[in-house]
Chains A and B, each alone.
Chain A
Amino acid sequence: MDQLIEKKMEDLREDEFLINMGPQHPSTHGVLRLMLKMDGEFVRDLTPYVGYLHRSIEKIAENRTYNQFTPFTDRIDYCASMPSNQAWAVAVEKLAGIEVPERAEYLRVIMTELNRIASHLIYLGVMSLDLGAVTPFLYTFREREKVLDLFEMTCGQRLTYNYIRIGGVSRDIPSQFGKYCFEFTKDFRKKLDDYEAILTENPIFLGRTKGVGVLPLDIAKNYGASGPTIRGSNYAWDIRKAEPYSVYGKLNFEIPTGKNGDTWDRYIVRMEEMRQSCNLIDEALGGIPQSDVIKTKLPVVLKPPKGEVFSRIEAPRGEMGYYIVSNGDKKPYRVKIRTASYGNLQVLAPISVGWKIADLVAIFGSLDVILPEVDR
């Protein structure tokens, strides 16, 4: 690392300087170090240093059975634990050819969409906190408490659920879940309108985010950006619609897109996605089949056939997927985890060059990167 800094310092012109947005910083979402070459207020070059949260989850996976690995997947992206669980379950089910009962699929959809709302609420709170409006942070966390109450009612946990297991889900929803959930979605739509009233048309917010950090579509695709980041650039790409998994093929929802690919568009996309998630939850809860089976009967120690599999789902931040190599043993031979923030973070360098440091904070907030996902 020092060689890179030395090399950069040699190329510095007289009016430029190197500054570190160090690993500990109130603004970066996780532990990320950014080395900026600044010319006054303008960012001329940006180098991210990641790896502060590397927990070698891929190596751990080689020493755990398939079922033992499920709690680890929660911690890859702890803000969106349910989709992380689901990605693992979908990959192993694809490898071993396991059918999931329909009630379990509906429950998976409900939980994943609730978690999508929770994750986007974190995004909303942290984004407005970065821009200086402290109050929406408190409001979004208040809404998030209701979602976490729903999760606690179901599986006992508030943050890392270990709920979506291979072959189904671990527990059925209690009887009062439906009532609370419908109340929540009804109330939440009104609250979303309130948050939009504070931020969306606010001239200061618009001034900070409109036109800032435009992400051209070809850069997004080439650098591996996915999820709301690429949807903000006017491209309706969503794995739930393109390669439907679970029961998304049967449910009605739309994919919101932005027009210009700037920070404001990514914000609008996520707000609209929260509304679409509410619709999905209502529809799934209304149409859930009554059944007792929520998990396929599987051997206690699962031994999938020899082979390789690659599967992906739409997590709140983008495309998340696994590449698993199995040699017939009870433990996977190799697990390669592909997370959404890995691609999204690479986009930061090209699009933030030439903007000011205050804009860098806004752009980085809009990419919604979670560092544990990047480092695994």
Chain B
Amino acid sequence: MTKEEITERLQDKFGSSIEVAETNQPEPYIYVAPERYHELCQFLYRDPELDFDFLFQLGGVHYPDERSALGRTAPAPPEADAGRFEVVLCLSSHEKIHCMVVKVKLDKDNPEVVTTSDIWQAANWYEREAMELFGIKFTGHPDPRPLLLYDDWEYGFPMRRGWTGPDFIPMPEK
């Protein structure tokens, strides 16, 4: 299915809960509201036309105070510049050979969203990584232990922008 067809199908089903981002990439980039995130993922996985059975990657992004890098179809309300977290899913389908990107915007101070590891088991480790590196909570995750950092790590969430650790030396600006 082409980008337009996927977008159309999702807009038919989810209407106003999703926003399509303007981009010149061949895949659709869809923003979804956190409340309907799990439902959207279920739909993407189960729908026979879309059939997104492969979670390529799931990552977190931290925007402390910047606008999203992509243009948006609706004018941004001013609070959007207060900073946010995003969870980005890159999905692909083996049978239909199409890809798409789903993004969820989360609150800056208390980023929390439902886990998708019951839909794609691959999400399990990706979410653990996002939990320890960004501090994003995934409710309902079966195994919320840290993945990469060591046990007594107590220096915060390293991948957040502007993080400094005890021995962290920033690159000199040139």
Contacts and interface: CB of A to CB of B under 8 A. Distances in A.
Given A1-B145, A59-B158, A333-B69, A321 B53 contact: no
Given A321-B57, A342-B125, A307 B24 contact: yes
A224 B54 contact: yes
Interface of B is mostly: loop
A346 B94 CA distance: 19
Interface in B44-85: 53-57, 59, 61-62, 66, 69-70
Interface in A40-65: 50-51, 54, 56, 58-59, 62-64
Interface of B: 23-25, 27, 29, 53-57, 59, 61-62, 66, 69-70, 88, 90, 94, 97, 99, 101, 120-122, 124-125, 145-151, 158-159, 161, 170-171
Nearest to B123: A224
B54 to A, nearest CB: 6
A57 to B, nearest CB: 11
Contacts of A59: 158-159
Given A63-B171, A223-B122, A336-B88, A237 B94 contact: yes
Given A94-B25, A222-B120, A242-B97, A51 B56 contact: no
Given A224-B122, A321-B56, A346-B124, A307 B23 contact: yes
B64 to A, nearest CB: 11
A325 B61 contact: yes
A310 B70 CA distance: 14
Contact of B101 (A50, A62, A308, A343): A308
Contacts of A223: 121-122
A54 B133 CA distance: 12
A50 B147 contact: yes
B105 to A, nearest CB: 14
* Residue from A224, A242, A312, A327 whose CB has the most chain B CB atoms within 10 Å: A224
A221 B145 contact: no
Interface string A183-223: 00000000000000000000000000000000000010111
A8 interface: no
Contacts of B23: 307-308
Contacts of A222: 53, 120-122
A278 to B, nearest CB: 27
B122 A343 contact: yes
A223 B121 CA distance: 5
* Residue from B57, B59, B90, B148 whose CB has the most chain A CB atoms within 10 Å: B57
Given A338-B57, A342-B125, A327 B66 contact: yes
A323 interface: yes
A319 B55 CA distance: 12
Given A221-B94, A346-B122, A336 B151 contact: no
Contacts of B70: 306-308
B73 to A, nearest CB: 15
Contacts of A224: 54-56, 120-122
